[in-house]
Amino acid sequence: MHTTVSGLSALPVLNVAQPSPAPTDVGIFVPPARGRIYDMELGGHHEATVRHDVENCLASFCAALDGGDEDAFLELFRRTPISLNGALPAHAQADLASLYRILAPPVHTRSVHVFHNLQIRMEGNEARYTAIFQRWAAGGSPSCISIGYFSGCMTAGPQVWYWTRHSITSAATGRRDGI
């Protein structure tokens, strides 16, 4: 019986000596004005690599919120409509700044975002994604503050992945968007 999961085969793998691929450092997504630039066009990318790249972008989003870095948040989403609980997307700088203040923890509170169950679907040079997130209060007695869904679309272009849509939906307020 042959099964596949996300395009990966469950058949046994033969241990055949093959030349090692050239090392590729895709690192963690850093907005172009702040860090290295990578060639992200999809020509030779495989689904696992795309998944890794999307994970890194979502991790940068979570790090901007957890680290209280409004500038990084604004830079990540400067041209991207973001929807919170199905509301009309925010995409103007003032709207994004207001959204950041809603999403980011208060200065005196530390929190950690964790996301999992990431699903990716490729359509041309776009990666549609959905994931479950949890936001935890960090401290002496960690507690879960919220649970919800991230969903959206990223496009691979010359040198970077960029968001074309991102939504955040609380599990208490609605269903996640499908991919």
pLDDT of residue 109: 77
Q: Say what the pLDDT of residue 113 is.
A: 93
Whether residue 146 contacts residue 134, with contact meaning beta carbons closer than 8 Å, is answered with yes
CATH number for 109: 3.10.450.50
- How far, in Å, CA of 81 to CA of 62, rounded? 17
Q: What is the pTM of this model?
A: 0.69
Q: Which amino acid is at 132?
A: I
Residue 81 is part of which domain span? 38-170
Number of domains forming the structure of the chain: 1
CB 113 within 8 A of CB 49: no
pLDDT of residue 19: 44
pLDDT digits (tens, 9 = 90+) for 39-83: 445 544 577 888 998 999 999 999 999 988 999 998 888 888 888
Distance between alpha carbon 163 and the CA centroid of its chain, in Å? 9
Examine residue 10 and state whether it is found in any structural domain, yes or no. Answer: no
User: Mind listing the pLDDT tens digit for each residue in 109-143?
Assistant: 788 999 999 999 988 889 999 999 999 988 788 88
